[in-house]
Amino acid sequence: MKKIALLLLLLQLAGCSFEPVKPWERGLLAQEKMQLVPDSLENSLDEHIYFSKESAFGGQGVGGGGCGCN
């Protein structure tokens, strides 16, 4: 019984993934404000500053100390 309920739940959750993106929706999804990281250069600089201030190593591939000079 639990297996059937789990299968039905998974089918319901996966129902949205079968819907392809329509051609007229692609323009909206391609807009800069819809991107996960709209400006990759600004994001890279922000990550560099964050990890430099935290004196952390790794995480996003930025190494070094707290001074910001790698």
Burial (CB count <10 Å: 0-12, 13-18, 19+), residue 65: exposed
∠ Cα 40 67 44 (to 5°):
5
43 assigned to some structural domain? yes
Identify whether 69 is part of a domain.
Answer: yes
Determine the pLDDT at residue 69: 60
In a 3-state reduction of DSSP, which class is residue 10? helix
Give the range of the structural domain holding residue 65, as residue numbers without chain letter: 39-70
The answer as to whether 63 is a domain residue is yes
Domain assignment of residue 15, yes or no: no
> Does 9 map to a domain?
no
pTM (predicted TM-score) = 0.36
27 belongs to a structural domain = no
The count of structural domains within the chain is: 1
> Along the 70 residues of the chain, how does pLDDT read in single tens digits?
888 888 888 877 776 666 778 888 888 888 888 888 878 888 888 888 877 776 655 555 545 555 656 5
